C-alpha cells in the first residue's frame, strides 16, 4: 500500500474511531412532522437525527448547529458518524452538532427508493457511463436511460410520497427542530445541496436566520430550473490546476511530474488511450475487476473535488503509466465498498480547515 494512501486511510479510520467514541449512542427521534404542513391528514414523516453534544459548561453553550452534507441524498447521519467530531473541532466545542436525514433520505421516512432491491440498483449502476463522449452511443443512451428512470420513479411513487419530499418541506422540518430545541434562530452549516437548503430556509424564514454558512454554493437558478450544467463548468480548470500544480510542485512532491504541464496532460492522455485499447485487470484480496478508461475518468472526476487528492492521484497515475494497478485498485475498493465516497472528501477538507470549493 502506498505511503500516501496509508496516510489517508489512517486519517480516516482514526477519525471514525474518535467520532464513534464521542457519540456513544446519543441520538434522538423527531418522529411526527407532518408530510404536508397545510394538511395534517396527509400523514407524518419521521426524521432521523443525531447529535454530538457541546462539551462546555452551560454558561458558555453556543447552541445547536444543524448541518446538511449535500446530495440531496447524502445522509447526515452517516456523515456525522465519520465527521461530526471534526466539524465540532473546526467550529468550536461550545456547539452541539446536529445532523438529520432529510425526509425521504436514508434513515428518515417516507422511505423513497426507486429501486426495489440492491440487485436492481447494482444492475442499473453497472451500466452507467461517466464520459458521455466515450462512444457515439454514450450520450443518446444515457438520455434514454434517464427517461426510463424518470418513468420508473413516477410509477413507483408509492402514496404520492415524492410530492411531499421537497426542499421547502425540509426547511419547515428544520424550523420545527429549531423550535423543539427551544431556539429562536437557526445555526446551520450547509455543503453543496445543503447551500440550496440553507438559501431556501433563509428565504422562507428570514427572521429565523441566525448564523448560516453556505459552503460550496450551488448555482441556485441552475439548480431550481433543472439546468445542472454549472456542475461541470469549471472541471477543465480543476484538471488544468492538477497539471500546473503537479509541474510546479516538482518531481519530489508530484509522482506524475514531467517537464511541463502540457507534457503531464499528454501523459494522462496516453494512459487514457492505452486503457481504451487494453483495460488492466486487477485482483487484490477480495477486490477484483478491470481498470477501464471510463472508470479512470470517473475516479479523476471525483479526485478533482479537492486538491488534497492531487498527490494520491499523481501516485495512481504514475503507477498506471507503467501498468501498475496497486493504488487504483485500493482507491476503487474504498470508493465502491465504503459508503463514504463523498464524506471522505469532505473529511479531508474539514480536517485541514479549508473551505470546500466544489460541488459535492
Pair type for strands 63-68 and 95-100: parallel
* Torsion angle (degrees, nearest 10) of CA 11, 325, 130, 71: -10
Identify any residues that bridge with 291 across adjacent strands, giving them in sequence order: 280
Q: How far is the CB of 217 from ligand NAG (least distance, A)?
A: 26
Rounded to the nearest whole angstrom, what is the least distance from the CB of residue 139 to ligand NAG in the complex?
9
Grid coordinates given for 298: 470517473
* Smallest distance, ligand NAG to C-beta of residue 255, A: 9
Residue 158 φ/ψ region, left for φ over 0, alpha for ψ in the -120 to 50 degree band, beta for the rest: beta
Helix (H) or strand (E) run with residue 148 in it:
helix 138-155
Residue closer to ligand NAG (CB basis): 147 or 163: 163
Q: Which is nearer to ligand NAG, 2 or 202 (CB)?
A: 2
Which residue number, 164 or 310, has a Cβ lying nearer to ligand NAG? 164
Q: How many residues does the chain have?
A: 360
Decide whether 74 or 319 has the Cβ nearer to ligand NAG: 319
Beta-bridged to residue 197, according to DSSP, are none
Cβ-closest position to ligand NAG = 39
How many angstroms separate the CA atoms of 77 and 63, rounded? Answer: 19
* Residue 12 or 325 with smaller CB distance to ligand NAG: 325
Q: Shortest distance, CB of residue 22 to ligand NAG, whole angstroms? A: 8
What are the CB-based long-range contacts (under 8 Å, 24+) for 292-297?
A: 293/131, 293/134, 294/129, 294/130, 294/131, 294/134, 295/130, 295/332, 296/271, 296/272, 296/320, 296/328, 297/130, 297/131, 297/134, 297/272
Neighbours of 117 (CB within 10 A): 9
CB of 355 to ligand NAG, least distance (A): 29
CB 293, CB 322: distance < 8 Å: no
Q: How far is the CB of 356 from ligand NAG (least distance, A)?
A: 26
For residue 144, the minimal CB distance to ligand NAG (Å) is: 19
Q: Least distance in Å: CB of 42 to ligand NAG?
A: 6
Rounded-to-10 torsion of CA 308, 325, 272, 145: -80
Identify which of residues 91 and 165 has a Cβ nearer to ligand NAG in the complex.
Answer: 165
For the stretch 226-232, contacts whose Cβ atoms lie closer than 8 Å and that sit 24 or more positions apart, written own/partner, are 230/359, 231/359
Nearest residue (CB) to ligand NAG, 163 versus 262: 163
Whichever of 11 and 107 has its CB closer to ligand NAG, that residue is 107
Residues making contact with ligand NAG (CB under 6 A): 2, 24, 26, 36, 38-39, 42, 53, 107, 111, 113, 116, 133, 163-164, 319, 324, 326
Amino acid at each position: 500500500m502506498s505511503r500516501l494512501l496509508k496516510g489517508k486511510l489512517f486519517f480516516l479510520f482514526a477519525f471514525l474511531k474518535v467520532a464513534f467514541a464521542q457519540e456513544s449512542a446519543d441520538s434522538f427521534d423527531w418522529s411526527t412532522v407532518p408530510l404536508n404542513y397545510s394538511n395534517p391528514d396527509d400523514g407524518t414523516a419521521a426524521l432521523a437525527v443525531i447529535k454530538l453534544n457541546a462539551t462546555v459548561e452551560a454558561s458558555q453553550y453556543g447552541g445547536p448547529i444543524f448541518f446538511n452534507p449535500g446530495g440531496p441524498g447524502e445522509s447526515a447521519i452517516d456523515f456525522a458518524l465519520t465527521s461530526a467530531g471534526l466539524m465540532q473541532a473546526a467550529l468550536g466545542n461550545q456547539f452541539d452538532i446536529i445532523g438529520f436525514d432529510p425526509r425521504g433520505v436514508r434513515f428518515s421516512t417516507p422511505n423513497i427508493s426507486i429501486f426495489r432491491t440492491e440487485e436492481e440498483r447494482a444492475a442499473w449502476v453497472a451500466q452507467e457511463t461517466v464520459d458521455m463522449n466515450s462512444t457515439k452511443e454514450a450520450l443518446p443512451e444515457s438520455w434514454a436511460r434517464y427517461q426510463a428512470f424518470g418513468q420508473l420513479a413516477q410509477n413507483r411513487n408509492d402514496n404520492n410520497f415524492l410530492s411531499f419530499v421537497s426542499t421547502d418541506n425540509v426547511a419547515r422540518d428544520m424550523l420545527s427542530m429549531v423550535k423543539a430545541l427551544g431556539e429562536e434562530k437557526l445555526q446551520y452549516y450547509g455543503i453543496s445541496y445543503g447551500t440550496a437548503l440553507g438559501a431556501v430556509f433563509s428565504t422562507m424564514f428570514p427572521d429565523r436566520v441566525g448564523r448560516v454558512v453556505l459552503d460550496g454554493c450551488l448555482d441556485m437558478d441552475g439548480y431550481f430550473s433543472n439546468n445542472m450544467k454549472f456542475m461541470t463548468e469549471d472541471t477543465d480548470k480543476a484538471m488544468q490546476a492538477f497539471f500546473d500544480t503537479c509541474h510546479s510542485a516538482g518531481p519530489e512532491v508530484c509522482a506524475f511530474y514531467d517537464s511541463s504541464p502540457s507534457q503531464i496532460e499528454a501523459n494522462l492522455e496516453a494512459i487514457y488511450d492505452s486503457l481504451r485499447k487494453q483495460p488492466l485487470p486487477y485482483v487484490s484480496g477480495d477486490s477484483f475487476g478491470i481498470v477501464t478508461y471510463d472508470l479512470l475518468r470517473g475516479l479523476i472526476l471525483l479526485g478533482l473535488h479537492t486538491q488534497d487528492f492531487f498527490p494520491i492521484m499523481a501516485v495512481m497515475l504514475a503507477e498506471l503509466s507503467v501498468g501498475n494497478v496497486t493504488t487504483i485498485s485500493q482507491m476503487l475498493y474504498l470508493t465502491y465498498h465504503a459508503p463514504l465516497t463523498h464524506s471522505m472528501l469532505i473529511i479531508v477538507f474539514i480536517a485541514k480547515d479549508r473551505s470546500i470549493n466544489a460541488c459535492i
